[in-house]
Chain A
Amino acid sequence: MDSVLTVEGLKTYFYTEAGVVRAVDDVSFSVKPGTIHALVGESGSGKTVTAQSILRIVPKPGRTVGGRIMFEDKNLLELGEKEMRRIRGRRISLIQQDPTATLDPMFTVQDQLVEAIMVTTELDREQAKRKARKLLEDVRIPGPENVLRSYPHQLSGGMRQRVAIARALAGDPKLLIADEPTTALDVTIQAQILELMRGLRDEYGLSIILITHDLGIVAQVADEVTVMYAGKVCESASVVDVFYSPLHPYTQALLLSVPRVDKRVKLRAIPGNIPDLVDPPKGCRFHPRCPYAVEKCSQEEPKLERADYMADHSGERSVYCHRFRELKLEVK
């Protein structure tokens, strides 16, 4: 199946005074069209930096130093700034975690939407105003006139996030990257936003990369998942496969550490800490915390292994673990 976005061997490093932080170190995954692809991991796993790398807005002192990002038959990492600007906002959009900080407090919603529309399309101001109203309707905001006239600080968190999503859709992008869009919101609003995303996927065929650390969200809306740890990918598969038969010990640990309402399960925290990305552990980065680690794990970094035969629906999955064939990971 054709992918809308394929990331291959992405490497983004930060050159700081404390050393080189290997925030994203050889990350690969691909996003199928019209799906919600979740990027899951703890903070510090490199999810946000991956998103920034795709759009090429990694802040200094970071730099993407390797890999390819294929989008619409082009390698984004090879494009010049001018061409990238035609991609940003127009083909690929980003929404961020904190809806308060993502909108400029000095301008009204209409100002910002119209600006976004005029930057990403050829519409004139009058047309842009009409489109702004329509966008608000698309994100299911009732009474758009009032919201258009409002300043961000006059809106609730959920409303702001919808406006942010509307703004991201201004240029009719093919791919939306949502970086922890619901983390700053409370649960009921969260559900609405996720519902909205599902709607966008179903009605408009929008592909979404959903970055999150919350497995609950992943279970609710994602079609596929890529699990990341310390700048590396652990495994990548459909949601069903990952949740019911994970192949990587870290995934298992994550699943086991999530409290469940339906069963009495012992809550198990993952022992240890995430590694220092300046000086990561040799071999597999998870091995110090992995209950199944063997000698090889501390010597060699695991390579990409295809495990399509173990995929239920989509027929595709991959994993980065030396022992995935022998381990039978349970997640009762």
Chain B
Amino acid sequence: MPMNIWGYVVRRLLYIIPMVIGITAITFFTVFAAAGGNPVAIVEANDPELPQATVNALIAYLQLDKPVPIQYLNWLWNVVHLNFGVSIQSGRPVSDIIWSWAWTTVYLQLFALVVSVALAIPISVYAARRRNSAGDFVITGISVFGISAPVFWVGEMLIILFAYDLGVLPAGGAHSLNAVWPWSIGDYLAHLALPAAVIAYFNLGLYVRLLRSRLVEIFQSDYVMALRAMGTPERITVYKHALRNAITPVVTFVGLALGTSIAGAPVTETTFSWPGLGYEFVRAITNLDFPVILAIVFLISVMTMVSNIVVDILYVYIDPRVRVS
């Protein structure tokens, strides 16, 4: 890759920092504002039986005696050192548990991403080439349905069908209790199937719509006509040329969609009781477990931004016009 691309990469990575600071700061201050300035009070009000030791730990971690901006900076400082505090719910240090949650979320999202992109390409090509045919119509219909149906509802319906009625797939969780990686890989895959299918279906709808319309445009372009006029085999015209040109905006879009999907984890993970960041987030806010809440917001923001950047880099790599000399 040309040297200037590395410069671009570094700049984008550095860019994450102010964004994440912005996001976490806003979250931090909003929490305090909504809590009327005293988060401890509402935590205690929420659960009067909380052990005093836990409350003390919270006060110490958040440095509640200091002014709010200092509190934030203090929290930020802790986070940079990967000190996410102690969970109010469980009393355990957050950094112990958060990484396994993060990994669980990540591998589900990545798996769904790969499936949806792998399927989107052939489906879109088919639909674009046989434009306005019955097949195209069906594909377009399924795509628009996919983006119109709430993800959790599709999930529920699939759970009801496959887990309760047919009993072939598990209803939730990432793996059975006694399953051990990697020997019980089948078990892991069985649990992965439904949630990944649901996430993939929704995103597939988005990708197919975009990719298909791009391909239709490109099939009418001059260079495609020139290729046909040269007698180039259709296979090369479509997969080497048309697809490469069509994919550029789609790549950016996939990145954004991945980011949104990660941020939307609470919904899918709750539906499937999938023990990832989203699921834990829902539990955390129910219990007003602030250290966990802040930690998850932080992590998810970083993950979202990283996926955006990876995609931006891919885009520059794919499209030669964007590489500034």
Contact = CB atoms under 8 A, between A and B. Distances in A.
The answer to whether any beta carbons of A and B sit under 8 Å apart in the complex is yes
Band of interface residues on A? 20 to 34
Contacts of B228: 57, 88
Interface in A35-68: 55, 57, 59
9 closest Cβ contacts across the A-B interface?
A88-B231, A89-B230, A101-B222, A94-B229, A85-B231, A89-B231, A151-B320, A104-B223, A106-B244
A85 B228 CA distance: 9
Contact of B226 (A86, A90, A153, A164): A164
A315 interface: no
Contacts of A170: 230
B46 interface: no
Interface stretch (A22-30, A114-122, A185-193): A114-122
Interface in A144-170: 151, 153, 164, 167-168, 170
A87 to B, nearest CB: 7
Given A59-B220, A115-B236, A105 B320 contact: yes
A261 B118 CA distance: 62
25 contacts: A57-B228, A59-B225, A86-B231, A88-B229, A88-B230, A93-B229, A93-B230, A94-B229, A96-B225, A96-B226, A98-B222, A101-B221, A104-B223, A105-B320, A106-B241, A106-B245, A106-B320, A115-B232, A116-B230, A116-B232, A119-B232, A120-B230, A151-B321, A167-B226, A170-B230
Main secondary structure of the interface of A (DSSP, over half): mixed
Given A106-B241, A106-B245, A55 B221 contact: no
B252 to A, nearest CB: 16
A197 B119 CA distance: 47
A57 B229 contact: yes
Interface of B: 220-223, 225-233, 236, 241, 244-245, 318-321
A233 B229 CA distance: 24
A102 B229 CA distance: 11
Interface string A173-192: 00000000000000000000
B231 A87 contact: yes
Interface string A68-90: 00000000000000001111111
A105 B319 CA distance: 8
A110 B164 CA distance: 59
Interface of A: 55, 57, 59, 84-90, 93-96, 98, 101-107, 115-116, 119-120, 151, 153, 164, 167-168, 170-171
A103 B225 CA distance: 10
Contacts of B319: 105-106
A84 B318 CA distance: 33
A164 B233 CA distance: 19
Given A89-B231, A119-B232, A170-B230, 10 more contacts: A57-B225, A85-B231, A88-B231, A96-B222, A101-B222, A104-B241, A105-B320, A107-B241, A115-B232, A115-B236
Nearest to B131: A60
Contact of A102 (B220, B223, B232, B241): B223
A48 to B, nearest CB: 10
A90 B222 contact: no
Contacts of B229: 55, 57, 88-89, 93-94
Contact of B245 (A89, A102, A105): A105
B310 to A, nearest CB: 20
A325 B184 CA distance: 94
Given A106-B241, A106-B319, A153-B320, A101 B223 contact: yes
A168 B230 CA distance: 7
B54 to A, nearest CB: 58
Q: Which of B222, B223, B241, B320: most chain A CB closer than 10 A?
A: B223
Contacts of B318: 106
A94 B245 contact: no
A103 B321 CA distance: 13
Contacts of A90: 231
A119 B223 contact: no
A119 B320 contact: no
A251 to B, nearest CB: 29
Nearest to A150: B320
A84 B233 CA distance: 12
Nearest to B224: A104
Contacts of A104: 223, 227, 241, 244-245
Contacts of A96: 222, 225-226
Contacts of B223: 101-104
Given A57-B228, A120-B230, A102 B222 contact: yes
Contacts of B220: 59
Q: Which of B221, B228, B231, B244: most chain A CB closer than 10 A?
A: B231
A168 B232 CA distance: 12
A94 B232 contact: no
Nearest to A84: B231
A57 B225 CA distance: 8
Nearest to A171: B230
A200 B96 CA distance: 75
A52 to B, nearest CB: 8
Nearest to B226: A102
A103 to B, nearest CB: 6
A59 B321 CA distance: 28
Contacts of A151: 320-321
Contacts of A167: 226, 230
Contacts of A86: 231
Contacts of B221: 101
A90 B229 CA distance: 10
Q: Which of A90, A103, A106, A170: most chain B CB closer than 10 A?
A: A106
Given A101-B221, A105-B320, A151-B320, A119 B231 contact: yes
A112 B320 CA distance: 14
Nearest to A99: B222
Q: Which of B220, B222, B233, B318: most chain A CB closer than 10 A?
A: B222
A170 B229 CA distance: 12
